[in-house]
Amino acid sequence: MERWQSYFSKARGRKMLTKQKREFLRTNYEITDIQLDEFINALNESINYHSYDTQVSLQESGWRGSDDELNSIIIETAVDADRLQQWFENYNEWCNAFQYKMQLAHEIKGMRMNSYFTDWLRKNGKQTWNEFKLGLK
């Protein structure tokens, strides 16, 4: 049951994003510094709340995937179905209608996104942090 803890510990989750990555995230996702910080805090709380039950459910079902797949599932579980709402004071003011929650969560945690997330970004004129670093459009 400890697999997720090393990657998603609060200490790692609260690590500072570089100034360049913060600027990219704010610009790419059209959010403010305050919104980014609110999202990071809510994401960390939701991951800490949901990750144990998610891992237990997967183990009981016999699922055997890689650590990257497990981490992606934990991120999706923490964000999906408005699970961030309980950790946001003003969730309905901006985050409820925000279309890129899953992508932003993956970017913050430094996880590679599934193709359907990256396709949605590109369709809407956005790019991933890795594409930005490589100078891809």
> For the chain, what is the largest distance between any 2 Cα atoms, rounded to a whole number of angstroms?
43
Q: How many helices (H) and strands (E) does the chain have?
A: 9, 0
For residue 4, give every residue at least 6 positions away whose Cβ sits within 8 Å of its Cβ, in sequence order, or none. Answer: 51, 52, 54, 55, 70, 71, 74
Burial class of residue 33 in the structure, from the number of CB atoms within 10 Å of its CB (0-12 exposed, 13-18 middle, 19+ buried)? exposed
- This model's pTM is above 0.95: no
Could you read off the pLDDT tens digit of each residue along the chain, which spans 137 residues?
Answer: 454 444 454 444 445 689 999 999 999 999 999 999 999 999 999 999 998 999 899 989 999 888 888 888 999 999 998 899 999 988 999 999 999 999 999 999 998 898 999 999 999 999 999 999 888 76
